[in-house]
Amino acid sequence: MGEDGKHKHTLATPGRKIVMTRVFDAPRELVFDAHSSCEHVSHWWGPRNHEVVTCEIDFRPGGAWRIAHRAPDHETPVFFGEYREIVRPERFVWTFGFEGMPGEPGPETYVFEEHDGKTTLTSTAEFDTIEQRDAVLETGMEEGAAETWDRLDEYLEVMAQSMTG
């Protein structure tokens, strides 16, 4: 935990995409598995002050996913989509949408690359228009993603300990 979280996370917006990158101090199998089931995802999804209240993950191509979490103001944002491609432990592609977002959920690709026991996770979200991309950025999505990935970083330590312990 020596590094400041802000230095581990990058965000770029080429064209109609949002590309986020984060390095995790864990092997990619572990980082990949942390994304593959509610058992894991419910521990780290969303900002710290949010609680996962619904989690459904059918982790296979064509399988649906849906996650709702409750915010302190009692709003319950709902995120959903479908898995399109899964290549364990290298990548998966799903569609990512949330209730109230205009248009259809767009594809988002997660790529897991391991170097010297650390995993670089790159997520690339594609949108129909730049306006749609900007609307998503304006939701505070970058801060939410950074905090979510901080929580994932912490949860990966728990996963690693349970495997060795």
Q: Please tell me the predicted confidence (pLDDT) of residue 23.
A: 97
72-105 confidence digits (pLDDT tens)? 888 888 999 999 999 999 999 999 998 887 778 8
CATH number of the domain at 5-46+84-164, please?
3.30.530.20
**Rounded to whole angstroms, how far apart are CA atoms 44 and 22?**
15
Q: Please tell me the predicted confidence (pLDDT) of residue 5.
A: 43
Which class for 26: exposed (0-12), middle (13-18), buried (19 or more C-beta within 10 A)? buried
Task: Return the domain boundaries, the chain.
Answer: 5-46+84-164
Which parts of the chain sit beneath pLDDT 50?
1-6
Q: Please tell me the predicted confidence (pLDDT) of residue 2.
A: 36
Q: Please tell me the predicted confidence (pLDDT) of residue 3.
A: 41
**Rounded to whole angstroms, how far apart are CA atoms 151 and 147?**
6
Q: How many Å is the maximal CA-CA distance in the chain?
A: 48
